[in-house]
Structure 1
Amino acid sequence: MTIEGFCDPLFAGVRDAFALFFDQGLEHGGGVSVVADGKTVVDLWGGHADAARTRPWRRDTLVNVWSSTKGVVALAIAMLVERGKLDYAAPVARYWPEFAACGKERITLDQVMSHQAGLNGLAVPMDEAGMLAWTPYINALAAMAPLWEPGSRCVYHALSYGHLAGEVLRRIDGRSVGCFIAEEIAGPLGADFHVGLSAPEDARAAEMIEGPKASEWVDFVRASPFPHACDNPTPRALAPNDRAWRAAEVPGGNGQSTAHALARIYGMMATGGTFEGRRLVGRAAIEEAARPRFRGMDDSFALPAAFAAGFQIEDPVYAGRASAQSFGHTGWGGAIGFADPGAGVGFGYVTNRMLGFDDVDPRRKALIDAVYDAL
């Protein structure tokens, strides 16, 4: 397999690890990128963008990064908090009055951002089309009662997180979350990241491939003792292959990105909010967004978890290597983006071959270990 792109010789171990995935049959197509102290030191890609192996993966190939989208949404919210438009401690109903129905008047933005809002699924049936249309889904969220006492536990809001945070953003800013990201984050940074992909860009979109145990977490969460523990509707591994999914805004999980885009976004945050002379957000706002909101058991997975305001923190994928202030977000099947302010590093990895939990997917850890071996 030919690996294309750029790699600083100091980071040759990242190239070696990435190439090994293809040799071992773990990878089909993807990319990895590292930004260190504001400079791109790794930007590699390889493999194929389609299951039939007729389209080579290119530098500008886009792929659905699932929940890695959540971290970019978290940045958007942090920018509005810094501007005084939002307050993490404020009730969501301050910005979205209809949300106060059925006992939700005290749910805070912080609880939404840290998966403690009791709204990890809908109380009424909803098909995927309703979620993609936005309004039916957010209306159902606004009308329902919490599934459990808000603030009493953490149950991962796999898809509802994005609509909840996104509707708050839309109410206060006037733009959709996808539009805000395009105009305030992706555009200024030159980051090829999209929530809501236009039809002409379809030619760049990779086909998702469901590898071993890719859907095991859906089955695992479905068996949770808590009602609606997996979002309603249940996510489909191959949904990103549909035009309707790509066109819609699903800020909990349908960001289309390159590895370099994730690395640039997190590289900007790792160095205090300024990148290549352009300031997007202040250091204090980043630190406040990355401050811990929850540590304990995520009851959807029955696993330890730690969340900030939309970011995963203390992630075991990079535990022991990255500095304590690191933050980011993984994505279903393999993707990850994170910032390490202590090392000045932004990291992005994307793939179209979705694997299961780390017992069958060693890719993220191997790449991250290689980065820290080079630092």
Structure 2
Amino acid sequence: MVDQISGRVDSAFRAVRDSFEASFADGQNLGAGVAVYVSGRLVVDLWGGTADATTGRAWERETPCVTFSCTKAVTATAALRVAADAGVSIDAPVASWWPEYACAGKESTTTADLLAHTAGLPAFDRPISPSEAADPELMASILATQTAVWEPGTRHGYHALTFGWLAGEFVRRHAGSTVGEYTRRHLNADLHIGPAGPVLEQTARLASPPAVEAKWTGDSSPIDSETVTRMARAYADPNSLITRSTTNPRGSYNKPEVLTGGWPASGLVTTAGALASFYRDLIAGALLPRYILDDAISERVRGRDEVLLLESAYGLGYARASQNMPLPPAARETAFGHPGAGGSIAIGDIDHQVAFAFVPNLRRDWLSGDRRACQLIEAVYAAL
């Protein structure tokens, strides 16, 4: 499998290639890409493996893949840029631009609450179909009528899917476009939230490891056994917030109806190179004014997540190092970004001028010991 790795690395970052190759040699990866910019220069650009195990199609440099919640940082950037262009304060009440939202315990919600996972709407109250999820106006209208699970701004809990339609409504009402449309026009044309045509046809097919490799075991999990047990029980409960927030709407991300639906919290389809270049531009000040980005990546909440039941930390849509986004010591204080289900992650680091993205199609869980991304990031920072 190592001979299927393609691309280039600067000599100083050879250890990144070694780590990437090792992850294929030991079966941790099926197909994947990793890209790294340092001070605006591309120092790692690697890809390899299999994009579709059912056909044997190889992973190429331009093979896009679903990145799941890496989407949230892109959606947040779109909302923050729209706010800056429109002169709208992120701390203003949601009711000032979305009057229908001000009901059922949500009257005090601010736009910042929508971005910081403090809005209290982590899940839908009724089943949502993939066809409904493709209609952002409908999704927003459903959320506007729901009752907040907690008083907005007082607690935080991961809005796994609703985040996209909440933040996306700000974009839709102020910019007159969906997050996907806005992203392609103003952030990066190779970031596809709602892919179609050749991009959809080229998208890597997701796969899962054997069940025995997906178990949350005490020996391999990076967090304490009590937290793992608490989370496992919640995932087994169909009425828990963690289950309701992550499985509704339900749909396979290998199906076109889900991918083309443009889910703005989880549907980003892109390459590692394009995602890393997004963070390169973000930390360089090309997408947001520096003072806005500094405020957005500043930690607004940290602690036990009401939904995930472990430690999480967020700025305005960007995640910070925590149990939910484990980072090596060298990156913990300065890096920001977002992980995605199955192992994808992208981060930026203004202090170290690092932009990093790892995009795999074999879905592993870090609670089962997945360290692919963390080992790559460790190698990057060791080479700086």
TM normalised by structure 2 equals 0.89
Within-5 A mapping of 1:192-271? 192-211=190-209, 212=211, 221-222=234-235, 228-231=241-244, 234=247, 239-271=252-284
Q: Distance in 1 between matches of 2:265 and 2:70?
A: 8
Q: Is the aligned partner of 1:330 residue 2:332?
A: no
Q: Distance in 1 between matches of 2:245 and 2:306?
A: 17
**What's the secondary structure of 1:329's corresponding residue?**
strand
The aligned amino acid for 1:193 is: L
Q: Distance in 2 between matches of 1:214 and 1:243?
A: 26
Of the three residues 41, 44, 47, the one matched with 1:42 is 44
The aligned amino acid for 1:265 is: F
Q: Distance in 2 between matches of 1:4 and 1:235?
A: 38
Of the three residues 8, 11, 23, the one matched with 1:9 is 11
Cα 1:83–1:215, aligned 2, differ >3 Å: closer, same or farther?
Answer: farther
Deviation at 1:173, TM superposition (A): 0.9
**What's the secondary structure of 2:200's corresponding residue?**
helix
Of the three residues 165, 180, 183, the one matched with 1:181 is 183
Of the three residues 306, 311, 316, the one matched with 1:304 is 311
**What's the secondary structure of 2:57's corresponding residue?**
coil
Paired position in structure 1 for 2:143: 141
Please tell me whether the aligned partners of residues 127 and 233 of structure 1 are also in contact (alpha carbons under 8 angstroms). Answer: no
Q: Distance in 1 between matches of 2:193 and 2:377?
A: 26
Q: Distance in 2 between matches of 1:264 and 1:254?
A: 18
Of 335-344 and 48-57, more deviation after overlay is shown by 48-57
Displaced runs of 4 or more, over 3 A: 212-233, 235-238
Please tell me whether the aligned partners of residues 155 and 229 of structure 1 are also in contact (alpha carbons under 8 angstroms). Answer: no
The aligned amino acid for 1:313 is: R
Paired position in structure 2 for 1:364: 373
How many residue pairs align between the two structures? 365
Q: Distance in 2 between matches of 1:177 and 1:147?
A: 26
Q: Distance in 2 between matches of 1:247 and 1:220?
A: 33
Paired position in structure 2 for 1:340: 349
Deviation at 1:88, TM superposition (A): 1.6
The aligned amino acid for 2:202 is: R
**What's the secondary structure of 1:102's corresponding residue?**
coil
Deviation at 1:323, TM superposition (A): 6.0
Task: Give CA deviations for 1:270-309 in whole Å, capped at 9, x if unaligned.
Answer: 33x1xxxxx3322111111111110111122221111000
Q: Distance in 2 between matches of 1:362 and 1:254?
A: 23
Of 125-134 and 38-47, more deviation after overlay is shown by 125-134
Q: Distance in 2 between matches of 1:266 and 1:214?
A: 30
Deviation at 1:210, TM superposition (A): 2.0
Please list every run of 5 or more consecutive structure 1 residues that lacks an aligned counterpart in the other structure.
274-278
Q: Is the aligned partner of 1:31 residue 2:17?
A: no
Q: Distance in 2 between matches of 1:319 and 1:299?
A: 25
Paired position in structure 1 for 2:95: 93
The aligned amino acid for 2:199 is: E
Q: Distance in 2 between matches of 1:137 and 1:85?
A: 26
**What's the secondary structure of 1:197's corresponding residue?**
coil
- Identity in percent: 34
Please list every run of 5 or more consecutive structure 2 residues that lacks an aligned counterpart in the other structure.
217-227
Q: Distance in 2 between matches of 1:225 and 1:235?
A: 11
Please tell me whether the aligned partners of residues 160 and 265 of structure 2 are also in contact (alpha carbons under 8 angstroms). Answer: yes
